[in-house]
Chains A and B, each alone.
Chain A
């Protein structure tokens, strides 16, 4: 038999689910197929809160977004979901074959949305196939889906968002990360993620690469070297590090095989991740009625994938029914996407899309860095004192609690604005890409914003010059959470110990959603230096 549908969606990640919801809510008989046993794609491996705006679920952890989307799907009777189902091929008679329930089934959809996502790149170095070398996705799958510790000591290769986030997740899972290696001269991912790692004591080695994995039957270490400006090894810079696993996070490539087999035209655009489909701004490929969304359309953040999914789904609705009522929403989604990509971190994707749409105005310009004055931060993950000073109120104001937002890079994100009950945080020009600013006249130092920040980049300080003491409140989402009254070791932005302090308050309720807000009291001079704490090995409660 042949299963007929108005639209079939291949891939049950964020883009595919949003496409299915958009199609289903507008009355299409919809089929969503997903290769894995579960829906959610990469979302279900994401323990961090999402960046972006409220519309893309910003401030919510990926795992929770996945659950929200799944329960929305469950309520839709006109959407059939087939998990453990692999799309096998698309044929000239419009039949999509899929492996489902140990059968090769035939599906005839009137329109198609491909949201097959991406796969991880591999890296050539000596012994790159040794057991213990894992893709970042594999590491995330093991620890975040199955709850299995991937290794004891891991070297991360790649400092894009995936490399940085997975490193942090490894530490959350109790794994030691011995360092992050990055061949470029600057950290690739969001700098707030890098700062998060640095204050946990993880070195980020820019302009370094892995030469060789050491070991016979499994990884025992890695040989690294430094690179010059031409990406060549600098003699005499080899160094060996001991580890039991090497995690590769060197980028993603769109999974375009079924798409090109279908005869949709593709093109190579490095900025979008490799071979990508040619498609319109409405995400329609060169084959009428075949749409793409998510990483397949170009590697981007999950927030963009969700918007694209809905956009593709609505365009499928328009294609099948001719219904114009979705047009307004389509227009809105395109504006949202435009907004997400408008800032400096969106430059690569803008440049890639300009090549796709042959926009010579943009492609004639070379990508330049607009990141002013954050050079040290971009190289090391640690902001300079000048950067930090800009974020502080004047000295008189410091006797009352105030928020310090150590967010220096223009990234599309605004949960801090929403989290503040006093309206004290604002983003200039209402441009989601601008860095947030604290209005110290309104800020009460209530710490609401601390656990709301996806980058864990907000701290609340207060200084008491008379007693030469002060307090600092920090976000904390690791194991071995200290208790009130504990004497803890205080760590600076580079993870180095700088003294001790006493835990005065812990907020760990529903509102914090597992990101504890811990307030420690310490010496006044350390207030602006403390960015992490850890239980002292012998640390016992202070005598109260």
Chain B
């Protein structure tokens, strides 16, 4: 491991690896990524793997669309032939009320301003796209054919490999233990494998973002929350797009190998790092999904797990340099959307770090909360 670095990135998930790649591509040398487990072993590798562009705020639409463009061209982008198992089979968002339908049409206007090819559907049209859907209570739907999903592990690996090729040192099974500061500046990182002198660190620790803030006395406004997910056995193709409902608080997709992956947002979950699975999740999920997709009832659940959402006050990421501690960057609080925003955030953050004018006009800084400029994204699970 290097003893000196221009930047130490704490966290080997999609964000850490995407930022490392972008910085290296810009010519920064001496980049170290610290990962306490293996790459994508935290939230990235546990997520639902979806990438959707159907958001309600312009900046989320922009970041998601840019991410999708990168993923669509990932081999050219990383200058290496890689397969991240990207499948664009669309996201079908279901509305169950007049109010939700109204929100969808507002969202569509925002999306269309960025040429995202989404469209409104009637319940019947939704039923044509997903024949196994129970449209009984469906009020309307929205569909974007270019939304889809990719393999988070392979995507992170692809970024990491491309970064390593450009000189980035990726230290897996290496844990950041402390951050040394002096006169209000970052000086270095103590790891369990040695000390690295550096003037810049990036907190991209996902579920552990708060703890990495505490290392320098920052009380970052984020917390971790358990979100559960399950996967079924492989069955013949039944479901083409990702099906999602905000009011049912669920998402469900069938992966290319034939297994279903689905999850839902928890109720009354206590903040913390508990990622144990619960039987209550199985029951709640089974009840919802057998109602929405009745034909799925004979499919077997073979595995359940949980990961941490790192949640910010407005459920939008916080991407900036700390005002109190120059040299301390953060990419935290993704609130469950880190994988799909990772590619564009990688670009944006690398520009922030190198002092270039950012490619995207977005407000993601920590100061937004003090300024009462929280982002009001209406469409999250």
Instruction: List residues of chain A with CB under 8 Å of any chain B CB.
Output: 89, 91-93, 95, 97, 104, 106
Contact = CB atoms under 8 A, between A and B. Distances in A.
Contacts of A104: 279, 282-283
Contacts of B304: 89
Contacts of A106: 279
B278 interface: yes
Nearest to A96: B279
B276 A92 contact: yes
A36 to B, nearest CB: 18
A97 B283 CA distance: 11
A92 B282 contact: no
B277 interface: yes
A93 B274 CA distance: 13
Interface in B269-283: 274, 276-279, 282-283
A304 to B, nearest CB: 33
Contacts of B279: 89, 91, 95, 97, 104, 106
Nearest to A90: B279
A93 B281 CA distance: 13
B374 to A, nearest CB: 34
Nearest to B304: A89
A84 to B, nearest CB: 16
Contacts of B274: 92
A97 B276 CA distance: 15
Contacts of A91: 276-279
A497 B306 CA distance: 67
Contacts of A97: 279, 282
A95 to B, nearest CB: 6
A106 B279 CA distance: 9
Interface of B: 274, 276-279, 282-283, 304
A312 B276 CA distance: 27
A95 B282 CA distance: 13
Contacts of B283: 104
A216 B2 CA distance: 54
A91 B283 CA distance: 13
Nearest to A92: B276
A94 to B, nearest CB: 11
A10 to B, nearest CB: 16
Contacts of B282: 97, 104
A-B residue pairs, 10 tightest by C-beta = A92-B276, A97-B279, A91-B279, A95-B279, A91-B278, A106-B279, A89-B279, A91-B277, A104-B282, A89-B277
A4 B304 CA distance: 25
B305 to A, nearest CB: 11
Nearest to B276: A92
A104 B274 CA distance: 24
18 contacts: A89-B277, A89-B279, A89-B304, A91-B276, A91-B277, A91-B278, A91-B279, A92-B274, A92-B276, A92-B278, A93-B278, A95-B279, A97-B279, A97-B282, A104-B279, A104-B282, A104-B283, A106-B279
A213 B114 CA distance: 60
Nearest to A261: B277
Contacts of A89: 277, 279, 304
A91 B304 CA distance: 12
Contacts of A93: 278
A131 B10 CA distance: 50
B270 to A, nearest CB: 12
Contacts of B277: 89, 91
A159 B283 CA distance: 47
A104 to B, nearest CB: 7
B292 to A, nearest CB: 19
A89 B306 CA distance: 15
A92 B275 CA distance: 11
Given A92-B274, A97-B279, 16 more contacts: A89-B277, A89-B279, A89-B304, A91-B276, A91-B277, A91-B278, A91-B279, A92-B276, A92-B278, A93-B278, A95-B279, A97-B282, A104-B279, A104-B282, A104-B283, A106-B279
B363 to A, nearest CB: 40
A92 B270 CA distance: 14
B28 to A, nearest CB: 42
A106 B276 CA distance: 17
A95 B276 CA distance: 13
Contacts of B278: 91-93
Nearest to A95: B279
A91 B306 CA distance: 13
A97 B277 CA distance: 12
A418 to B, nearest CB: 50
B201 to A, nearest CB: 33
Nearest to A88: B279
A231 to B, nearest CB: 31
A163 to B, nearest CB: 32
A93 B278 CA distance: 8
A97 B279 CA distance: 8
A193 B277 CA distance: 47
A477 to B, nearest CB: 43
B285 to A, nearest CB: 12
A93 B282 CA distance: 14
A290 to B, nearest CB: 16
A92 B304 CA distance: 14
A95 B278 CA distance: 9
A89 B283 CA distance: 13
Contacts of A92: 274, 276, 278
B287 to A, nearest CB: 12
B290 to A, nearest CB: 13
Contacts of A95: 279
A104 B283 CA distance: 9
A319 to B, nearest CB: 23
A478 B123 CA distance: 71
B178 to A, nearest CB: 28
A97 B301 CA distance: 13
Q: Could you say which of B277, B278, B279, B282 has the most chain A C-beta atoms within 10 Å of its C-beta? A: B279
A89 B228 CA distance: 15
A104 B278 CA distance: 13
Nearest to B274: A92
A259 to B, nearest CB: 15
A149 B5 CA distance: 69
B78 to A, nearest CB: 34
